[in-house]
Amino acid sequence: MTPQLPFANHYVSGVGPYEGIPTFGGFPHLPWQELAGADAIDVAVLGVPYDNSTVNRPGCRFGPRALRANGFNSGYHHLTLGIDITDWLRIVDAGDVHCPHGLTEVSHSNSYLAAKAVANSADFSVFLGGDHSITWPTAAAVASVYGWGELGLIHFDAHADAASDADGNLASHATPMRHLLESGALRKGHFEQIGLRGYWPPPEVFEFVRDQGGRWALMQEVWERGIDAVVDDVIERMVNNCQAVYLSVDIDVLDPSAAPGTGTPEPGGMQPIDLLHAVRRIALETPLVALDVMEVSPPYDHADVTVNNAHRVVFETLAALAAKKRALGGGTPHLPGIQPELLRQRPPRSNA
């Protein structure tokens, strides 16, 4: 006779944070090539696994995969805003751009085309890098959708990334902001940088940024004035000057104690609470249409601390976008949340 086993005869369904096929945030997978034919999508997340342009430690080609597989997802209810992200936003993981190794031109062209498809099809675009050279094609794609020269860019970084080249490489992760400024994707007065510090770049790079109407807040200023005062000024200029805003976050803007997994760590950086607070305010108070999070290099991470801080930058943005949509719909916060102040909503896309 078969002994009776102490197992129930019904299956208990559910998915834990460590189970299932990884997509970003556990959101459904819908390839970017199929977005145009889909029903209304609020947010599409696109991975860009490219790091051939890094000047120091490689590895951020593995960033998108780590953010999907190792970012801890404890739920979708943002306590401060009192909102469940999934109640208000339809979010999809649009997969990855094909970035063949050693082929910068192909990888950047692919990134531009995929990013443009995402920006045309979803109300909000999220790009997961990859090294910061990727912001050149992705921000250019967003500018082509929302109006060339109408886009403003807020750049959190330890480094200015506006050099003319790095060791002769014109498409380095040290150069994307120069390309965007020189191309006219960003007009004068449409470029803001926060968190710069350290020993690079040299003065001529800042002369170029200044001549293009760009502004910067060194980490020294953030430390002296506080993040809210700095962000107040940036938001005011963006709202007054730009029709749409793109937010670019190099994870090395954080102090290496909070983001060891990056290619060019620079001591003396921001703490996660200040970065998340700033990102939330920017998403709530400007006409934000796109976000990228760059330079997450898992081989140098410890205990997924970099991955989780980068993951929360995205989730903080999503929660703010959900709160905006809730405000338009007349909703109110769940406990223990508060109703945030809103300044401007997302602008319409152009026909470009």
In sequence order, what are the beta bridge partners of 294?
A: 250
- Is residue 175 within a helix (H) or strand (E), and if so which, with residue range? none
| Annotated domain spans of the chain | 24-328
Give 165's DSSP letter: -
Specify the DSSP element, H or E, that contains 77: strand 77-78
> Checking DSSP bridges between strand 122-129 and strand 215-218, what pairing results, if any?
unpaired
Q: What is the DSSP letter of 3?
A: P
Task: Find where tokens 């003065």 sit.
Answer: 203
- Residue reference for tokens 């223990």: 336
In 3D space, the residue among 150, 83, 198, 164 whose CA is nearest the CA of residue 346 turns out to be 150
**Each residue's pLDDT expressed in tens, for the chain with a length of 352 residues:** 566 788 888 898 888 888 889 999 999 999 999 999 888 999 999 999 999 999 999 999 999 999 999 999 889 999 999 999 999 999 999 999 999 999 999 999 999 999 999 999 999 999 999 999 999 999 999 999 999 999 999 999 999 999 888 788 778 888 999 999 999 999 999 999 999 999 999 999 999 999 999 999 999 999 999 999 999 999 999 999 999 999 999 999 999 999 999 999 999 999 999 999 999 999 999 999 999 999 999 999 999 999 999 999 999 999 999 999 999 888 999 999 888 877 555 566 665 5
Yes or no: say if 73 and 26 are a contact pair by the CB < 8 Å rule. yes
Residues 6+ apart with CB under 8 A from 78: 84, 85, 315, 316, 319, 322, 323, 337
Q: 125 has which bridge partners? A: 44, 290
Letter for the amino acid at 51?
Answer: D
Task: Indicate the pTM of the whole model.
Answer: 0.94
CA distance 141 to 148: 9
Both tokens of 101, joined, read: 């190794």
CATH top-level class of 24-328: alpha beta
Contact yes or no for 289/143 (Cβ under 8 A): no
Q: Are 136 and 182 in contact (CB under 8 A)?
A: no
Do residues 197 and 158 touch, judged by C-beta distance below 8 A?
A: yes
